[in-house]
Amino acid sequence: MTMDRQSTARSVWRLAAAVLAAIAVPILAQAPAAPAAAPTRQALVNELVVANHILANEGVLDGYGHVSVRNPADPNRYLLARAGAPALVTSADITEYNLESEAVTNAANAGGTGYIERFIHGEIYKVRPDVMAIVHCHCLDVIPFAATTVPMQPMYHMGSFIGEGVPVWDIRTAGGTDMLVRNNQLGRSLAQTLGNKSVALMRGHGAAVVATSLHLVVGKAYYLNVNARLQLQAMQLAGGKVKYLDPEQAKNSAQDYERSWDFWKSRLPSK
């Protein structure tokens, strides 16, 4: 609970910082004129495009899955690409949604339709004011955990957020007849299972990962998958006698993944 309050405080601070940056950057960069909101939005759109490309290039997403970011200028809106392979997303694909997951921009775009499962994003943003970015992935090494009752555990500090606990959501319990989060009601159920954690696994499907920024959510999704592989290896090595990070250590070891972002960005194929 303290953690939640801290998270909220942190995200408020980050929002404030983003707004300040929105004002400061154009002033510093091209002195007069340029209205504050526009460049910020474009910068955020560009970051979201990079996040899409990194997640595909590092194998967290393949042809499927998506990443969104809350609009810092309007917390009731979020940005998400229209339906398409993450590796191919461009800034023209980025669409703004309200929290009912209705498109408020780009709606009339020829050929562009929304991801069927955008409700994952809208419903989590509704109940988690601290969350500024969300990834929905089919991260491969996580799928086996989503199919069992073996709890995920933090193997090392890069996966410290796993120490919060990783609940597993089963769409059958929410009335889904296929595996897709096709409406707000299913999204709401997933958001409830997520609670105040960083990750909810989705049985037979993948995971939803949340964080207070785009850089953080990309890092968490990546290391969630790495940690899953390492935990399986450790269990193969020592069965039930693996020493995971203890809760205190995990809590004290939050990462910002900023160097990971720099590294992954530098590895993107040049177009």
113 in contact with its own copies (CB under 8 A): no
- How far is C-alpha 81 from the geometric centre of its chain's CA atoms? 13
**Residue 214 within binding range of its own copies, rule CB under 8 A:** no
In the 8-state DSSP scheme, what is residue 103? B
| Site mask for its own copies (CB under 8 A), range 31-70, x = bound | -------------------------x-----xxx------
β-bridge mates for residue 103, sequence order: 97
Separation of alpha carbons 99 and 114, rounded Å: 14
Give the total of residues touching its own copies (CB under 8 A): 64
- Contact between 156 and 230 (Cβ < 8 Å): yes
Q: According to CB under 8 A, which one of 87, 107, 174, 268 is a site residue for its own copies?
A: 87
- CA distance readout (Å), 154 to 160, 166, 258, 261: 5, 10, 20, 21
CB of 103 to its own copies, least distance (A): 19
Candidate list 9, 17, 88, 92; residue touching its own copies; CB under 8 A: 88
Question: Per the structure block, which two tokens stand in for 231?
Answer: 């935990």
Does 109 contact its own copies by CB under 8 A? no
Q: Is 3 in the site for its own copies (CB under 8 A)?
A: no
The residues in 237-256 that bind its own copies, with binding defined as CB under 8 A, are 237-238, 241-245, 248-249, 252-253
Two tokens at 163?
């120490």
Element (H, E) at 202: strand 199-202
Q: State the helix-helix crossing angle for 214-238 and 258-266, rounded to 10 degrees.
A: 100
Residue 71 vs 225, nearer CB to its own copies: 225
CB of 155 vs its own copies, minimal distance in Å: 6
List C-alpha distances in Å: 243 to 21, 154, 167, 224. Answer: 43, 9, 20, 18
Piece in contact with its own copies (CB under 8 A), picked from 10-18, 27-35, 149-157, 181-189: 149-157
Using CB under 8 A as the binding rule, whether residue 147 contacts its own copies is answered as: yes
Beta carbons within 8 Å of 86's beta carbon, 6+ residues apart: 52, 53, 55, 56, 61, 63, 65, 66, 67
Of 47, 58, 96, 117, the active-site residue reads: 117
Active-site annotation holds for 58? no
Site for its own copies in 165-204 (CB under 8 A): 172, 177-180, 203-204
Q: Which residues bind its own copies (CB under 8 A)?
A: 56, 62-64, 83-88, 138, 140-141, 143-150, 154-158, 160, 172, 177-180, 203-206, 226, 229-230, 232-238, 241-245, 248-249, 252-253, 257, 259-264, 266-267
> Residues with catalytic annotation?
117
